[in-house]
Amino acid sequence: MSDQTVRQRSRSTAPTAPPLQPGLLREGARNPGMPLELDWVREVRINLSAVERRAATLGTRRSVKKAWQAAWLLKAVTCIDLTTLSGDDTPGRVRRLCAKARHPVRGDILDALGMNDGSIRVAAVCVYHQLVEAAVQALAGSGIPVAAVSAGFPHGLNPLPQRLQEIHASVEAGAREIDVVVTRGHVLTGNWEALYEEVRAFRDACGDAHLKTILATGELATLRNVARASLVCMMAGADFVKTSTGKEGVNATLPVGVAMARAVRAYAERTGYAVGFKPAGGIRTAKQSLVWLILMKEELGTGWLTPELFRFGASSLLGDIERQLEHHVTGRYSAQHRHPLA
């Protein structure tokens, strides 16, 4: 199937938006936020059937095989926030995770792919606040940032002063990225002013550390709420909008991804600032990662396929990607236990 046929079929089923115009975005500039525009938020509409149809076609209209698939999977590795958020986490587990973050794919596989030049590493390591110092020490000199889940993660229902204090503490401990969960009640009740002020306070507490706002989309009831909450968080200065904590019953889904990506696009077109997107929770296979990369490329363009603007929140995903890369090199599938996370 030719690229032209693929594009025609895409237009006939669920049209993608045209590429963002060159020069539209302030490249490399951090999103400063903007005053809350309630009219814009209230005008948001979502065509549920169209979004679901679009999401359903993402993995069926385009096929990535052989060397191209290996290249896309290596790209996926560089966009992973390698994560451990278990109740039994220990400094030793975090150190092992950080060792894997430095060398996420076995050297012999990278040698066979001609990519063993040190360029393949994960985007960040994500841990609870209590383990930030251990992760910072383990990653010293690597350039890999530590992301901390703060502000009463995963429920985000602690009093606001306590949540802000935890953000300050994570930054002081060395975290360069902060993942916070917003108050879902503000979204469900339509209290957009409260959501805006909350996220603005989070942004101020982060200082130079980048802020990822977790919407917990599985608990927001509608895609319209998801899109509205995404816009408000970006208006308040979020550097990333993130789908889920990974602790909800429903986490990252493709319809949610389409709705959030289009909100990111609308914000970029209105302001010129590119905000990142992070799906998290339930993304476990290499095949799933390819579909999410296709979503980003088709909805936002190649410019978003970088760790600065796209992340996977994942733990087991890396093991399956490494397994698929070994199959590409050797022609054989190995047992999963041959590719431990760390």
Catalytic residue among 100, 212, 239, 242: 242
Q: Which of 179, 212, 239, 320 is catalytic?
A: 179
The secondary structure of the chain, three-state, reads CCHHHHHHHHHHHCCCCCCCCCCCCCCCCCCCCCCCCHHHHHHCCCCHHHHHHHHHHCCCCCCCCHHHHHHHHHHHHHCEEEECCCCCCCHHHHHHHHHHHHCCCCHHHHHHHCCCCCCCCCCEEEEEHHHHHHHHHHCCCCCCCEEEEECCCCCCCCCHHHHHHHHHHHHHCCCCEEEEECCHHHHHCCCHHHHHHHHHHHHHHHCCCEEEEECCHHHCCCHHHHHHHHHHHHHCCCCEEECCCCCCCCCCCHHHHHHHHHHHHHHHHHHCCCCEEECECCCCCHHHHHHHHHHHHHHCCHHHCCCCCECEEECCHHHHHHHHHHHHHHCCCCCHHHCCCC
> Does the annotation mark 242 as catalytic?
yes
Q: Active-site residue among 81, 100, 212, 278?
A: 278
117 is catalytic: no
The residues annotated as belonging to the active site are: 179, 242, 278
